[in-house]
Amino acid sequence: MLEPLIQNNVVCHAVEAMVFASITCSILGVIISRMNLSSIGFTMSHAAFAGASIGMFLETSTQIAAIAFSMGVAALIGPVSDKAKMAADATLGVLFALSMAVAIFLISYMQYLGRGLSAGSLLFGDVVSLYREEIYALAAISLLSVLFVLFFYKEICAIMFNMKIALASGMRVKVVYYILLFIIALSVALCLNIVGGLLIFVWLVTPASIASQFCNNIKSLFIAAPLVSLLVSAFGVWAGFEYTLPIAPLVALLLTGTFGLAVLMSSKRKVTTRMH
Amino acid sequence: MSIIELEGIYTAYEGDDKPIIKDLTLHIDRSEYVVIGGPNSAGKTTLLESINGLVKITHGRATVCGFDVGKSGHEVRKKVGYVVQNFYFDPFTPFTTEQVVIMGRYGRLGLLKRPSEADYEAASKAIRLVGIEDLAQKTIGTLSGGQQQKVMIAHNLAKEPEVLLLDEPFSNLDFSAREFLQGILQDLVKRGTPIVMVSHAFDGLPDIRIHLVVMNEGRITKDLVCPAESVEEIIRETSFSKRNSESAAKRRSHGIRSGFIAPGSARSR
Ligand SMILES: Nc1ncnc2c1ncn2[C@@H]1O[C@H](COP(=O)(O)OP(=O)(O)O)[C@@H](O)[C@H]1O
Ligand SMILES: [Mg+2]
């Protein structure tokens, strides 16, 4: 899609993939961090990671296996998590540990079998050897996330504000909540190839946290988070190719660095406004 | 037909087998001002949430605004306003007062529909009525507890409900604010929207006849109509004599004192 702009095909695909992944994850991240769904996102991403490693071990599609596993967590966690009692926490912890154990076990075993190279990409992502179809899938999921927020904007705002008050108002928020969980699961599974199972969480929470340092308005959060994420990610891909650095970890570091900077700048801003 | 009809209901929280509300019967008519009193953990909040279907009714029959609460909870909640008791909005909540008040309209709109001009008009009317115009553009997490209570009341007024449930809505408000909001509630009652309020603060109750319900341990121990100035005394008396004599409490839960009108019997005023 960006071919006219970027000469090198590999770089071009990498930028596209990173841009779509960052838009998807940061938009969902705004909702996730507001609703304290971080532990659910965390568990889903690691379940996807475990699924992908099983898929790779069995030499079937890693992507489909990843989707199946993160969707499985969504289906399992959804009914528990919307109850006020967060007994779900223990369930999430167990699922997270199980996912990590399965993934690490299989990856180590594959390394022993001499298939370690491809297994490493599961951990840290691989933006260099993407198929065109994978980029289309990423484009589709980022479009889906944007449309989801646009169509259900009213319901999403209400549940981000307060689940109980939203329920008491007579809105059908549970439907929207379940759609949300499944979109998160799908996105996490699809972005796994790009950023890796260990780092995907950075894309989910960090951009929203950066944006919330400067925005106290819901609309600006939904615009600023993907914008920041997109710019930092695109820059990271460029820098990674330019200086031959591992791209996903580099972008993760850049995002975290931006967050630190944002915290410094916003606290400075608060100090100056207080002085006036 | 009463707007709220509860017939021998039992309610239990998910995962618990022991019911919180036990065999409770209550009828509330249009244009009644209902005060629910009773000690802590008597089940007052649970009763309100049984009325709008947030807590599951396990036995008995509950009809609110003509809908069966168990089967059509959404329809009931679209028509019933509910000011919740415990809320906490952190300072970074990214919603302004105005946005929170317009959310009161969302239930009536249904999925995918955007608020119209009329919805915005209802919201700004509610903001003006409660007198929080100056807070409209402030984010709700930065307001004081009392201001937040006013915002939640405006949120529910914007809804234009057929019944308004309030759970200790004045706990953070000073006397003059209480009196002012009581005036708004009294107007609602006059125009045919019944009020059902859980409260411990009875100063500033409007000078009309009050349908008083006293609860204890998930049951109604008193259900009568009395003048506003007697409310506090009756509640105090109920909890005091409760400590003294169990049998007296039992007698009171069946019989209704002379001078007060029995619930369910034709009440005229
Ligand atoms: N979410 C809940 N899950 C289980 N039990 C609850 C829940 N909320 C309240 N209860 C129990 O129900 C009883 C009545 O509580 P509540 O209706 O809040 O009392 P009140 O509002 O009169 O103070 C209490 O014993 C309380 O422990
Ligand atoms: Mg209560």
Domain boundaries, chain A: 9-262
Helix (H, G, I), strand (E, B) or coil at A101: helix
Domain-embedded: residue B10: yes
Q: Which residue out of B16, B45, B49, B213 has the highest number of ligand 1 atoms within 8 Å of its CB and is therefore the one to mutate? A: B45
Interchain contact B72–A (C-beta under 8 A): no
CB contact under 8 A, B94 and A154: no
Q: Which residues of A touch B (CB under 8 A)?
A: 34, 83, 85, 151-152, 154-155, 157-158, 160-162, 164-172, 175-176, 212, 215-218, 221
Model-level pTM greater than 0.90?
Answer: no
Domain-embedded: residue B199: yes
> Is the domain A9-262 a CATH 1.10.3470.10 member?
yes
Percent over 90 (pLDDT), chain A: 42
Beta carbons of B195 and B166 less than 8 angstroms apart: yes
Of the listed ranges A37-51, B26-40, B155-169, B173-187, the one predicted with least confidence: A37-51
> CA dist B212 to A255, B7, B69, B93, B197, Å?
59, 18, 23, 37, 10
Could you say which of A168, A216, A218 has the minimum Cβ distance to residue B84? A168
Q: Can you read off the two tokens belonging to residue A94?
A: 């167990």
**Atom number of ligand 1 nearest to Cα B215:** 22
Q: How far is the CA of B44 from the centre of ligand 2 (A)?
A: 6
CA atoms within 13 A on the CB side of A138: 26
pLDDT at position B168 over 80? yes
**CA–CA separation, B123 and A99 (whole Å):** 48
Q: What is the CATH number of the domain that holds B24?
A: 3.40.50.300
For A193-234, the pLDDT digits (tens) are 788 877 888 899 999 999 999 888 999 999 999 999 999 999
Q: Can you read off the two tokens belonging to residue A214?
A: 């400067």
Tell me what pLDDT residue B98 has.
96
Q: What is the 3-state secondary structure (H, E, C) of chain B?
A: CCCEEEEEEEECCCCCCCCCEEEEEEEECCCCEEEEECCCCCCHHHHHHHHCCCCCEEEEEEEECCEECCCCHHHHHHHEEEECCCCCCCCCCCCEHHHHHHHCCHHHHCCCCCCCHHHHHHHHHHHHHHCCHHHCCCEHHHCCHHHHHHHHHHHHHHCCCCEEEEECCCCCCCHHHHHHHHHHHHHHHHCCCCEEEECCCCCCCCCCEEEEEEEECCEEEEEEEEEHHHHHHHHHHHHHHHHHCHHHHHHHHHCCCCCCECCCCCCCC
Q: Write out chain A residues lying below 8 Å of B75, CB-based.
A: 170
Q: Can you read off the two tokens belonging to residue B38?
A: 């009773």
* Helix, strand, coil in percent for chain A, rounding step 5: 80, 0, 20
CB contact under 8 A, A169 and B95: no
Interchain contact B139–A (C-beta under 8 A): yes
Beta carbons of B218 and B24 less than 8 angstroms apart: yes
**Nearest CA, atom 23, ligand 1:** B41
Mutate to test the interface with B, among A86, A216, A219, A221 (most CBs of B within 10 A): A216
Interface A-B, measured as beta-carbon pairs within 8 A, has a size of 80
**Atom number of ligand 1 nearest to Cα B44:** 22
For A92-145, the pLDDT digits (tens) are 788 888 888 998 888 888 888 877 666 677 777 777 777 888 899 999 999 999
Domain of residue B207: give its range.
4-228
CB contact under 8 A, A170 and B89: no
ipTM: 0.87
Instruction: Give the DSSP per-residue string, A21-44.
Output: HHHHHHHHHHHHHHTT-HHHHHHH
Tell me what pLDDT residue B110 has.
84
Q: Can you read off the two tokens belonging to residue A115?
A: 């298939």
> CA dist B77 to A28, A151, B74, B126, B165, Å?
28, 23, 5, 19, 11
The closest alpha carbon to A34, from B93, B12, B210, belongs to B93
| C-beta atoms surrounding B238 within 10 Å | 21
CA atoms within 13 A on the CB side of A254: 21
Residues in chain B, total: 269
B44 lines ligand 1 (CB under 6 A): yes
The closest alpha carbon to A211, from A237, A240, A231, belongs to A231
Could you say which of B77, B99, B115 has the minimum Cβ distance to residue A169? B77
**CA–CA separation, A190 and A75 (whole Å):** 18
Q: Can you read off the two tokens belonging to residue B191?
A: 């125009």
Instruction: Give the total number of structural domains in chain B.
Output: 1
**Atom number of ligand 1 nearest to Cα B40:** 23
Mean pLDDT of B205-223: 93
Q: Which residue out of B13, B16, B20 has the highest number of ligand 1 atoms within 8 Å of its CB and is therefore the one to mutate? A: B20
Gyration radius of chain B over CA positions: 19
Query: What CA dihedral angle connects B128, B78, B80 and B103, to 10 degrees?
Result: -30
Which ligand sits nearest to residue B39's alpha carbon? Answer: 1
Domain-embedded: residue B255: no
CB contact under 8 A, B52 and A168: yes
pLDDT at position A22 over 90? yes
CB contact under 8 A, A168 and B104: no
Percent over 70 (pLDDT), chain B: 88
**Nearest CA, atom 25, ligand 1:** B41
CB contact under 8 A, B100 and A151: no
**Nearest CA, atom 2, ligand 1:** B13
The pLDDT confidence band at residue B268, using thresholds 50, 70 and 90, is very low
Domain-embedded: residue B257: no
Residues in Cβ contact with B206 at an 8 Å cutoff, skipping those fewer than 6 apart: B33, B182, B183, B185, B186, B189, B228
